[in-house]
Amino acid sequence: MRQRRIGLAQVNPTVGDLEGNVRKVLHWMDRARALGCDLVAFPELVLTGYPPEDLLFKPAFIEANLKALEAVAQASHNLTAVVGFVDRRDDIFNAAAVLHDGRRVGVYHKQYLPNYGVFDENRYFQSGTEAPVFAVGETLFAANICEDIWYPTGPTTAQALAGAELVVTINGSPYHAGKAHFREKMLATRAADDLVCLAFVNMVGGQDELVFDGQSFIFSEKGECLARGKAFEEDLVIADLDLDRVFRARLHDPRRRKEKLRAPERVPRITLPPLPPRETPALPPREVRVLESVEEIYQALILGTRDYVRKNGFRRVVVGLSGGIDSSLVAAIACEALGAENVIGVTMPSPYSSAGTRADARRLAQNLGIEFLTLPITPVFRAYQRALAKPFKGLKEDVAEENIQARIRGTLLMALSNKFGWLVLTTGNKSEIGVGYCTLYGDMAGGFAMIKDVPKTLVSHLARHVNARADRAVLPESVFTRPPSAELRPDQTDQDTLPPYPVLDRILEAYVEEDKGFRDIVAQGFEPATVRKVIGMVDKNEYKRRQGPIGIKITPRAFGRDWRLPIVNRFREP
């Protein structure tokens, strides 16, 4: 029986930390070797970190990455490894190096360069044209990269028709809610259609707005899932492949013979010397939990926050606690990500803060076990009013005075950040940021907007999830039942300005994530005046969103790199 043991090292690299990334690759390579793997694969651009963006315009960065690859190649003794790096010829390529027993023996260049959503690979790379197959003894395998696997008749099909029994695809596939399930179905279909064992290794970790969820897979030629990687954790995914099964399955498929005759190009074959025989210790039992949707999003927010804070050299974070549900959720996730000892909560009561929200902020801090500071803003607000008394004389208080309070709070939080080196986590959600229900240099002031891509209705589900996971009321019940309010004027509620959040979120999803227009959204049953108001607010507040901090992408279309609305924009749908 032709059985081969393969491993997928879903690791968490850091962009630009080539030395650290090499150490990580060598560590997991050693683990794979110790467990008897014949081949181990690492994610896309693992040596540089992904995405490296305009670092790719720096020749010194390209050269450092090539030196890093050489160090990894020399350490690949008694093993075959597939490692993502940047190749340099007359141009640069997103590449997979095939390393074998101490040397580099081949390279695959990514053919399909994504240029949509968060991807911008045409800006940096040239497309590859060849899809080689590698022969090690009686085993034929091939490698390709990320976007290549999404094309039904792409490089995987060509490599399988050229004899590859195993195709390894290395990936930096960013997370959004629901993507993992869709990706798994696609991969199972691709394996079955091409009658090939398919090994999909995905990166894990946070990089700026992006989170990579891991969840690597190994599929049989029938599309059966043989092994899966953990979600949002580094992991080594191992499976023993029976390649004779692939051969037998292909004998029973006459369509394949016809497809081979129509294959347009000759696929290069590279023959490698066999590796020395090795022991293959029994694999320990393994069970990987598939996360339900709210837990999956929750873990994405934890990982994205932890990596943004830690990889940027911060140790502690500070959160303004209003006593509301958004800041409560941000503080709870920060504690999960960084430890309660590294989270500081600050309450900044104004003349309009209710006793209930002040009590809830303190109760939340006690429940989480975090340091808690009280900085009343009323004296500072009164000083602002005195300073502005002359130009504001005879005018009613309005949004100007409301925003002054928010900006005082932002100033206090940033002062703490400057003095103690704490990163400020802002607490605005996607619903508020989408329609501009937020204050520039006020509640938008900070270093990282954890829930920037989380709609208000989802905030409530995640907050309930926090309590369910803890089996206690970490977030006080009153934060769920009290009407949402900025508390910047007497008896204020969010619904004075906005539609009810369930309505607002459905309209935002249709307009922002699905690109539906006014008529399409009204046809879904919404009031025309409400739809026009929401669309107008979204369009008019792009200038605010451009000036806010980045946050974690968890929906298919997040504000920021996914969304590029002009600030100067007079188009309004009739």
**Active site (catalytic) residues:** 44, 110, 146
What sections of 443-488 are H helices per DSSP? 456-470, 478-481
DSSP 3-state helix, strand, coil percentages of the chain (rounded to 5)?
Answer: 40, 20, 40
Can you list the positions of beta strands (E) in 122-246? 133-136, 139-145, 166-171, 197-202, 204-207, 210-213, 217-219, 225-228, 235-242
Helix (H) / strand (E) element for 85: namely strand 80-88
Q: Which residues contact 386 (CB under 8 A, 6 or more apart)?
A: none
Which of 308, 405, 421, 397 lies closest to 348, judged by CA?
A: 405
Distance CA 174, CA 51 (A): 10
Nearest CA to 231 out of 181, 299, 281, 183 is that of 299
Locus of tokens 């891991």: 214
| R_g of the chain, CA atoms, integer Å | 27
Residues contacting residue 444 through CB under 8 Å, at least 6 positions apart:
410, 426, 428, 433, 438, 544, 547, 548, 549
- DSSP for 346-397, written as a single string: EE---TT--HHHHHHHHHHHHHHT-EEEE---HHHHHHHHHHTTTTTTTPPP
Secondary structure (3-state) at 56? helix
Count of CB atoms situated within 10 Å of the CB of 378: 15
In the block, tokens 């029986």 appear at 1
Q: Are 366 and 350 in contact (CB under 8 A)?
A: no
Distance (Å, whole) CA 477 – CA 209: 31
As given in the structure block, the two tokens for residue 193 are 């259609």
> What's the token pair of residue 224?
């059966």
Q: What's the first-to-final CA gap in the chain, in angstroms?
A: 68
